[in-house]
Amino acid sequence: MARMKFLLDSDRCIECNACVTACKNENEVPWGINRRRVVTLNDGAKGEKSISMACMHCEDAPCMAVCPVDCFYRTDDGVVLHSKDLCIGCGYCFYACPFGAPQYPQVGNFGSRGKMDKCTFCSGGPEDDNTKAEYDKYGANRLAEGKLPLCAEFCSTRSLLAGDGDVIAQIYKDRVARRGYGSGAWGWSTAYKMGTGA
């Protein structure tokens, strides 16, 4: 059984934001909600690196642990999803997430922040696969069609890899070996227990 992960090769990311655009379009993500975002470190200086971040679909997901209504679940592929029907918009998952994945449609908490939204690894939600109901709430379900997330498919430099963790870790290892350098699979030691071994 595949264990789905993202791997961002920060040595290749050119901050083109194709991944962001792909995600926004494919999932009809409203303005103000940033399922995927590109953060640039050392902007304009030597050692500038850009990192594309959505959700890491962690092993021992902190969001799942702290949710007061237990609205998260994990699929067989290791993808962390949640139910917008149960979500009360309290925002605790955002405080717990090391990567800032949860997004909310309302700014303040006083009227509730609204239902939390986040990267689904293009895997939809609890609704039946590829129905309109699922699409309206959670966006596309590409995994059910046998496809991989669109952000990685669109990546112009193949910096963002998505798929079975072992497969993409191997791709990255080969890459690092061939070119002679690599800053590592960023975020993997935080999100997963075993890291890449790269």
Partner 1 sequence: MKAFLTATVAAIVIAIVAGFILKAENESATAAFTTTSARVSTN
Partner 2 sequence: MLISATVLLRRVAAALLLGGVVAFANLTPAVAQQPANDAALMEALKGTLSGRVSIPDEKSALLQQPQGREWREMREGPVKSLGGWLLVAVVVGLCAFFAWRGRVRVEGGFAGRTMERFTPVERFTHWLTAVSFIVLGLSGLNMSFGRRLILPLIGPDAFASLTELGKWSHDYLSFAFVLGVFLMAVMWLRYNFFNALDAEWFKEGGGILKKGVHPPSSKFNAGQKILFWAVMLGALVQAVSGYMLMFPFYFADMAGMQLSLLVHAVSGILFVALILAHIYIGTLGMEGAFDAMGTGQVDVNWAREHHSLWAKEELGARAPGDD
Question: Which parts of this chain interact with partner 1 (CB under 8 A)?
Answer: 30-33, 103-108, 110-111, 114
Instruction: Tell the residue number behind the tokens 């890291």, with chain if given.
Output: 195
Contact 54, 151 (CB under 8 A): yes
Q: Which is nearer to partner 2, 138 or 186 (CB)?
A: 186
Residue 50 C-beta: closest distance to partner 2, Å: 8
Residue 57: exposed, middle, or buried by beta-carbon count in 10 A (0-12, 13-18, 19+)? Answer: buried
State yes or no: residue 97 binds partner 2 (CB under 8 A). yes
CA distance 141 to 122: 5
Q: Which of partner 2, partner 1, none is residue 180 near (CB under 5 to 8 Å by kind)?
A: none
Query: How far does Cα 142 stand from its chain's mean position?
Result: 14
DSSP 50: E
Residue 53 C-beta: closest distance to partner 2, Å: 6
Q: How many CA atoms lie within 13 A of 69 on its CB side?
A: 13
Q: Which of partner 2, partner 1, none is residue 157 near (CB under 5 to 8 Å by kind)?
A: none
Q: By CB under 8 A, name the binding residues for partner 2.
A: 10, 17, 32, 34, 37-43, 45-47, 49, 51, 53, 62, 65-71, 83, 85-92, 95-100, 108-110, 112-113, 181-184, 186-187, 189-190
